[in-house]
Amino acid sequence: MPRILVRVRPMAIGRLSALLGAVALLAGCVAGPAAPVPMGTETGTAPQIAQATPVVPAAPGGRRDLVTASDETEAMRRARIRTELAVAYFGQGQHGTALDEVKRALVAEPQHVQALSLRGMIYAAMGEYELAESSLREALRIRPDDADTLHNHGWFLCQRRRFDEARRQFEAAMAVAQYRGQARTLLAAGLCEARAGELLSAQMFLQRSFDMEPLNPATAFQLAEVMMRRGDLERAFMHVQRLNQNPDLVRPETLWLAIRIQQRRNLHASVEELGGQLRSRYPNSREALAFDQGRFDE
């Protein structure tokens, strides 16, 4: 089922729009076009989950089987449609309306894992953290190996700065056989490690995510950010400059990161050149203001 993205509160430079401007919904939700994780600092928004394909309890050999049209009951269909609507409203920031749709989905099918997982993320966005965790744990009680919900729970725990618990959830998600969201979860794990101050492990996770999806601009940006913080300036600049050379990907955030890297390398001519691009393209951005004021450590 296609992945959809949801906004979690951005921090630092998680203000991107268009191609880089939405937060990737943590796994467990529903249909809609895929959107990339926003580029920001390691404390910025992080991926959320795309819904796993539904399953039915029994299949030959005792394994769960994929749901096809012939398996979907009327209750399941209603729950799926309501959950899809909830995802759409959540993605637009309409949390109350999204929650109403989730409640309707759960009336139709009380153990609908994707609806429970989404409800947890909605509660988290509303600041109802106890309700959020309760809903996520309920989804995992029903389906302990649902990688998307494990991913969602991991990101929730990371946001709450419960880093050890978050690591275990990310590891459990990546251990699920045939999980198709590995790169997304590696990116989330890398963001979480960076937030925890574990820059070496953050770089390892982000590099693995980049190796799997080298065209994901959010991963390239986050990897460059962590490399800069670790002092690997040449490689950091290489990653972010590839974004800046693409008219569809360049943003004030990408130019600002490149400027900060080159400032640390004492490459003043490059700093001025990039600063000129920042001023001309995004004169009213906070990054342009920081450049004019010489605030390179922001």
**Sign of the CA dihedral running 7, 208, 153, 51:** positive
Residue ranges with strand state E in 127-173? none
Q: Mean of the pLDDT values across residues 5-12?
A: 32
pLDDT tops 80 at residue 59: no
Output b/e per residue, 213-240; b: 16+ Cβ within 10 A. Answer: beebbbbbbbbbbbbbbeebbeebbebb
Where do the structural domains in the chain lie, given as residue ranges? 18-181
Q: Which residue bears the tokens 């995992």?
A: 140
- Determine what percent of the chain is predicted with pLDDT higher than 70: 77
* 15, amino acid identity: R
pLDDT tens track for 181-216: 999 999 999 999 999 999 999 999 999 999 999 999
* 183, amino acid identity: A
How many angstroms separate the first and last alpha carbons of the chain? 39
Q: Determine the Cα–Cα distance for residues 55 and 58; give it in Å rounded to an integer.
A: 9
pLDDT tens track for 262-284: 999 999 999 999 999 999 999 99
Of 48 and 236, more confident = 236
CATH of domain 18-181: 1.25.40.10
Q: Does the global pTM surpass 0.85?
A: no
The confidence score (pLDDT) of residue 196 equals 97
Q: What pLDDT band is residue 63 in, cutting at 50, 70 and 90? A: low
What DSSP line would sit under 192-235, residue for residue?
HHHHTT-HHHHHHHHHHHHHH-TT-HHHHHHHHHHHHHTT-HHH
Q: How many CB atoms lie within 10 A of CB 275?
A: 20
SS3 77: helix
What are the backbone dihedrals phi and psi of residue 29, each rounded to the nearest 5 degrees, phi first? Answer: -110, -155
